C-alpha cells in the first residue's frame, strides 16, 4: 500500500457499529430503513403540510499534521426536504430528499430516517438500493453539543452482517467513517460561549423539548422535533478510510455545518448565511451555488473504484479517483514510503488546532454575524411593537364601540322611563278628576232625595 500504513480499528468505530446494529435489531425499523424499493419516495415530489424544508451548508478544512493534498477540504450546499411516514412508539420514521446545489444542481439522493423522540437520536440511511450504502447517526449530549457519525459500507456485505447479527461482519464492509464532535448556540437560551466539545464544560442546562407522537399518523410534532436538529454547528472531525476492516488513512478536519429551515429563512437570515463564508446571497436564493468538489465524495469514489463500481457520491473531477491514487497522493504529501507508520494527532494537538482554527475562521465573522443578529433583533422588536400598537388600537376601538352602544341603550331606557312617568302623572290627574266628579254626583243625589222627602 502506498504512503499510509495500516492501523487497527478504533473502539469508537466499533461502538458506532454496535449502536447501528442495536437499532436495526428492531424488525420494523430494519425493514423500513433498508427497503430497496425506491418507489416509496414518489409521494415526496410535492411538499405536504408536514414536510420540513431546509438549506444545509457544509464546509470543512483539513488540520491533519500530515496533509493529503487538501483533497479533504470541501464545501457543499444542499436543499433538504423531510416528510414523516409513520410513528411507532417513540420512534418516528420518514423520508428525506437531498438536492445538491453544486455542479449542475441535478444530483438528488433519497434517504430514510428513524428518530427517537425520547432522546432525539437520529439515524439516516441513504439509497439502500445501491452498491454503496451511507448511514448517519446523530446523538445529542446536550442542547448545544452533539456527535455525528457518518459511515459508508458495501451494501451486500452489510446486509449479510445484519442477517447474521455479527458486528465484526460489518468491518469488512466498511469503506469510510467520520466522527464529528460539534457544538452550536443553544436554540432555547441562545447561549453561544466557549465550549469544550470533549467534556461539555461551558454549556447551558437547557433540555431540548422533543415531543413523542401519540398516534401512528400524528405528525403535528414532527416538524418541531426535526427542526431542533437545525442551527450552526462547528467542531472537529476525524475521517478514516478502511480496506477489509483495516484503517489505511486518517485525516483531521474542522467542520462548519449550518442547517436552516425555510420556514425560518427570511431574506436577511439567508444573506447572513451566504455572506458568512463569502457566498453570494442572490445565488443562494436562486437555488444554485457552485462550490469545490466534496472530499467525502472523493473518499466514497475511491472506495467504489477499489470495488470496480461507480458511486452516486462522487462529484465532478473526483469521480475517477481510485483508492491507490489517493494513497499515492498521501505518500507524495508526507514524503514517506509504503512501510511508514501514519502519524496520528494527539488530543492536546487536536484541541489546540481546534482553538486556533476557530479563531482564524470566526473572529471577524462572529463580529459581523453578531451585528447582523442585533439588527435582526431590533427589526423584530420594532415589528413586535408595531403589532402591539395595532392590537391596542383594535382593542380601544372595540371598547369604544361597546361603550357607545351601552350609552345609547341607557339613553333609550331613560327616555322610556320619562315617558312612563309622564303617563303615570297623567293617569293620577285623571283619577283625581274622576273622583271629584263622582263625589259631586253623589252630593247632588243626596240633596235631591232630601228635597223629595220634605215635599
The 3-class SS string of 397-408 reads HHHHHHHHHHHH
- pLDDT at position 411: 94
388 in a structural domain: no
- pLDDT at position 424: 95
Using the CB atoms, write b or e for 330-350: b if 16+ within 10 Å. Answer: bbebbebeeeeebeebeeeeb
Instruction: For residue 160, count CB atoms less than 10 angstroms from its CB and return exposed for 0-12, middle for 13-18, buried for 19 or more.
Output: middle
Question: Is the pLDDT score of 200 beyond 90?
Answer: no
- pLDDT at position 241: 87
Question: Is the pLDDT score of 324 beyond 60?
Answer: no
Q: Which of 102-106, 185-189, 301-305 has the lowest mean pLDDT?
A: 301-305
Quote the pTM value. Answer: 0.58
Contact present, 260 and 360 (Cβ < 8 Å): no
- pLDDT at position 33: 84
Q: Which of 33-37, 46-50, 98-102, 191-195 has the lowest mean pLDDT?
A: 46-50
340 in a structural domain: yes
Cα gap 420→33, rounded to integer Å: 84
Question: Is the pLDDT score of 214 beyond 90?
Answer: no
220 in a structural domain: yes
Q: Which of 95-104, 132-141, 390-399, 400-409 has the lowest mean pLDDT?
A: 95-104
117 in a structural domain: yes
Cα gap 72→297, rounded to integer Å: 9
Grid coordinates 455479527 are at which residue? Answer: 166
353 in a structural domain: no
Cα gap 282→274, rounded to integer Å: 9
Question: Is the pLDDT score of 397 beyond 80?
Answer: yes
Q: Would you place residue 18 in the very low, low, confident or very high pLDDT band (cuts 50, 70, 90)?
A: confident
Q: Which of 139-143, 181-185, 264-268, 421-425 has the lowest mean pLDDT?
A: 264-268
**Pairwise pLDDT comparison (343 vs 182), residue with the higher score:** 182
Q: Would you place residue 356 in the very low, low, confident or very high pLDDT band (cuts 50, 70, 90)?
A: very low
Report the pLDDT averaged over residues 347-371: 48
Domain total for the chain? 1
Closest CA to 326 of 153, 68, 151: 68
362 in a structural domain: no
84 in a structural domain: yes
Contact present, 91 and 115 (Cβ < 8 Å): yes
Strands 145-154 and 74-88 come out as unpaired
Residues 6+ apart with CB under 8 A from 53: 47, 79, 80, 81, 261, 262, 263
Contact present, 74 and 56 (Cβ < 8 Å): no
Cα gap 27→163, rounded to integer Å: 11
89 in a structural domain: yes
Tell me what percent of the residues of the chain surpass a pLDDT of 90.
13
Cα gap 313→331, rounded to integer Å: 25
- pLDDT at position 89: 86
Contact present, 241 and 299 (Cβ < 8 Å): yes
Residue ranges making up the domain that contains 220: 11-345
* First-last CA distance in the chain: 165
Grid coordinates 451511507 are at which residue? Answer: 134
Grid coordinates 488546532 are at which residue? Answer: 353
In order of 8, 182, 191, 237, the CA distances from 141 in angstroms are 27, 10, 16, 16
**Pairwise pLDDT comparison (35 vs 56), residue with the higher score:** 56
- pLDDT at position 196: 58
Cα gap 181→188, rounded to integer Å: 20
Question: Is the pLDDT score of 362 beyond 50?
Answer: no
Question: How high does pLDDT run on average in the chain?
Answer: 72
HEC string of the chain equals CCCCCCECCCHHHHHHHHHHHHHHCCHHHHHHHCCCCHHHHHHHHCCCCCCEEEEEEEEEEECCCCCCCCCCCEEEEEEEEEEEEEEECCEEEEEEEEEECCCCCCCEEEEEEEEECCCCCEEEEECCCCCEEEEEEEEECCCCEEEEEEEEEEHHHHHHHHHHCCCHHHCCCEEEEEEEEEECCCCCCCCCCCCCCCCCCCCCCCCCCCCCCCCCCCCCCHHHHHHCCCEEEEEEEEEEEEECCEEEEEEEEEEEEEEEEHHHCCHHHHHHHHHCCCCCHHHHHHCCCCCCCCHHHHHHHHHHHHHCCCCCCCCHHHHHCCHHHHHHHHHHHHCCCCCCCCCCCCHHHHHHHHHHHHHHHHHHHHHHHHHHHHHHHHHHHHHHHHHHHHHHHHHHHHHHHHHHHHHHHHHHHHHHHHHHHHHHHHHHHHHHHHHHHHHHHHHHHHHHHHHHHHC
Grid coordinates 447517526 are at which residue? Answer: 137
Q: Using one digit for the tens of pLDDT, what is the confidence trace for 280-292?
A: 333 322 222 223 3
Grid coordinates 414518489 are at which residue? Answer: 42
- pLDDT at position 104: 61
Amino acid at each position: 500500500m502506498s504512503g499510509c500504513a495500516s492501523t487497527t480499528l478504533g473502539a469508537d468505530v466499533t461502538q458506532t457499529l454496535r449502536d447501528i446494529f442495536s437499532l436495526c435489531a428492531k424488525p420494523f425499523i430494519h425493514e423500513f430503513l433498508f427497503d430497496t424499493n425506491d418507489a416509496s419516495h414518489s409521494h415526496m415530489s410535492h411538499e405536504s403540510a408536514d414536510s420540513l424544508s431546509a438549506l444545509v451548508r457544509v464546509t470543512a478544512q483539513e488540520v491533519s499534521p500530515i496533509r493529503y493534498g487538501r483533497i479533504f477540504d470541501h464545501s457543499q450546499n444542499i436543499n433538504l426536504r423531510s416528510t414523516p411516514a409513520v410513528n411507532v412508539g417513540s420512534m418516528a420514521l420518514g423520508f428525506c430528499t437531498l438536492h445538491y446545489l453544486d455542479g449542475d444542481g441535478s444530483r438528488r439522493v433519497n434517504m430514510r430516517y428513524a428518530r427517537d423522540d425520547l432522546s432525539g437520536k437520529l439515524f439516516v440511511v441513504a439509497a439502500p438500493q445501491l452498491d454503496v450504502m451511507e448511514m448517519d447517526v446523530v446523538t445529542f449530549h446536550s442542547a448545544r453539543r452533539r456527535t455525528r457519525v457518518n459511515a459508508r459500507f458495501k451494501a451486500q456485505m452489510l446486509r449479510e452482517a445484519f442477517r447474521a447479527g455479527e458486528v465484526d461482519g460489518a468491518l469488512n464492509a466498511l469503506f469510510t467513517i467520520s466522527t464529528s464532535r460539534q457544538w452550536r448556540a443553544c436554540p432555547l437560551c441562545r447561549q453561544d460561549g466557549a465550549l469544550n466539545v470533549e467534556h461539555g464544560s461551558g454549556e447551558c442546562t437547557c433540555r431540548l423539548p422533543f415531543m413523542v407522537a401519540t398516534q401512528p399518523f400524528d405528525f403535528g410534532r414532527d416538524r418541531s422535533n426535526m427542526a431542533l436538529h437545525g442551527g450552526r454547528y462547528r467542531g472537529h472531525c476525524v475521517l478514516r478510510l478502511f480496506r477489509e476492516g483495516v484503517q489505511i488513512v486518517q485525516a483531521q478536519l474542522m467542520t462548519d455545518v449550518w442547517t436552516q429551515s425555510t420556514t425560518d429563512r427570511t431574506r436577511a437570515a439567508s444573506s447572513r448565511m451566504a455572506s458568512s463564508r463569502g457566498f453570494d446571497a442572490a445565488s443562494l436564493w436562486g437555488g444554485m451555488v457552485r462550490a469545490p468538489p466534496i472530499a467525502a465524495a472523493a473518499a466514497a469514489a475511491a472506495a467504489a473504484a477499489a470495488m470496480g463500481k461507480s458511486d452516486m457520491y462522487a462529484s465532478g473531477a473526483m469521480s475517477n479517483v481510485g483508492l491507490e491514487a489517493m494513497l499515492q497522493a498521501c505518500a507524495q504529501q508526507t514524503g514517506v514510503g509504503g512501510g511508514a507508520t501514519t502519524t496520528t494527532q494527539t488530543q492536546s494537538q487536536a484541541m489546540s488546532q481546534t482553538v486556533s482554527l476557530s479563531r482564524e475562521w470566526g473572529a471577524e465573522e462572529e463580529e459581523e454575524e453578531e451585528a447582523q443578529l442585533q439588527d435582526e433583533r431590533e427589526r423584530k422588536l420594532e415589528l413586535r411593537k408595531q403589532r402591539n400598537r395595532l392590537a391596542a388600537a383594535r382593542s380601544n376601538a372595540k371598547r369604544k364601540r361597546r361603550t357607545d352602544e351601552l350609552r345609547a341603550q341607557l339613553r333609550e331606557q331613560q327616555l322610556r322611563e320619562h315617558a312612563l312617568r309622564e303617563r303615570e302623572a297623567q293617569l293620577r290627574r285623571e283619577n283625581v278628576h274622576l273622583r271629584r266628579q263622582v263625589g259631586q254626583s253623589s252630593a247632588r243625589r243626596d240633596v235631591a232625595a232630601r228635597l223629595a222627602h220634605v215635599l
